[in-house]
């Protein structure tokens, strides 16, 4: 049942979007090709018309996930970026989570292609944070980069450990709040300014 070229390309996008969501939710090994295709609305056999392997899909879906975040963050101030990252919303919304927090620990065990995607995702985050810092402070370029790295590391770590203690919701919330406050301070933002 051959279909239109545009339709086929839309379908590939549907698969990619389902994969980007499901990998973050269940982990790279937590969802199989057949289940994934079913969630995207297809039978599993057609998968290899679009991708040469699950490995390739993992790289492409990770790239898409980073791009979505890129778009959501573009042009926002440092306060908004950090507030969103260390929010209960972000912690609880795994399908839309930052891949660095949801899958960063597994990234090193994936293909070179996927590792490159994660590296570029991290670099992209760092330059967006650096850009957001430019608006609020008069730091040197070096200090701005150092601050961006510190802020991003703390944000990722806060979400990772906040999620890994989620059975204790009070502790989980406390971690996010305390790290957000510490981060805003570290970014040179005074409360009530």
Residue with tokens 């979007």: 17
Task: Tell me which of DNA, a second copy, none is bound by residue 154, counting a contact when its beta carbon lies within the kind-specific cut-off of 5 to 8 angstroms.
Answer: a second copy
Say how many residues make up the chain: 193
Stretch of residues binding a second copy (CB under 8 A), selected from 6-14, 35-43, 53-61, 95-103? 95-103
- DSSP H/E element including 59: helix 54-73
**Residues near a second copy (CB under 8 A), total:** 50
The answer for residues whose C-beta is within 8 angstroms of residue 47's C-beta and 6 or more apart is 15, 33, 37, 57
Which is nearer to a second copy, 124 or 136 (by Cβ)?
124
The answer to whether the beta carbons of residues 20 and 96 sit under 8 Å apart is no
Q: How far, in Å, CA of 8 to CA of 126, rounded?
A: 35
By CB under 7 A, tell whether 24 contacts DNA.
no
User: 45 touches which of DNA, a second copy, none (CB within 5 to 8 A by kind)?
Assistant: DNA
Q: Rounded to the nearest 10 degrees, what angle do helices 141-164 and 99-107 cross at?
A: 80
Question: Is residue 34 at the binding interface for DNA, with CB under 7 A as the rule?
Answer: yes
Residue 149 interacting with DNA (CB under 7 A):
no
Query: For binding to a second copy (CB under 8 A), which residues are involved?
Result: 26-27, 29-30, 94, 100-109, 112, 115-116, 118-119, 122-123, 145-147, 149-150, 152-158, 160-161, 163-168, 171, 174-175, 178-179, 181-182, 186
């Amino acid at each position: 049942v051959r279909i239109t070229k545009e339709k086929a390309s839309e379908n590939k996008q549907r698969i990619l979007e389902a994969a980007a969501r499901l990998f973050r939710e269940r982990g790279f090994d937590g969802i199989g090709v057949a289940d994934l295709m079913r969630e995207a609305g297809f039978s599993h056999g057609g998968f290899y018309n679009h991708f040469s392997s699950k490995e390739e899909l993992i790289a492409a879906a990770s790239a898409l996930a980073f791009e979505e975040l890129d778009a959501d963050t573009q042009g926002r101030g440092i306060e908004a970026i950090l507030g969103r990252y260390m929010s209960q919303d972000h912690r609880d919304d795994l399908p839309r989570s930052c891949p660095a927090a949801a899958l960063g620990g597994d990234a090193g065990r994936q293909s070179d292609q996927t590792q490159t995607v994660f590296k570029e995702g991290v670099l992209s985050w760092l330059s967006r944070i650096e850009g957001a810092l430019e608006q609020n402070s008069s730091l040197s370029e070096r200090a701005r980069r150092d601050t961006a790295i510190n802020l991003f590391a703390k944000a990722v770590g806060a979400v990772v450990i906040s999620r890994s203690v989620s059975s204790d919701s009070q502790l989980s919330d406390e971690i996010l709040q305390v790290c957000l406050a510490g981060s805003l301070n570290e970014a040179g933002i005074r409360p009530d300014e």
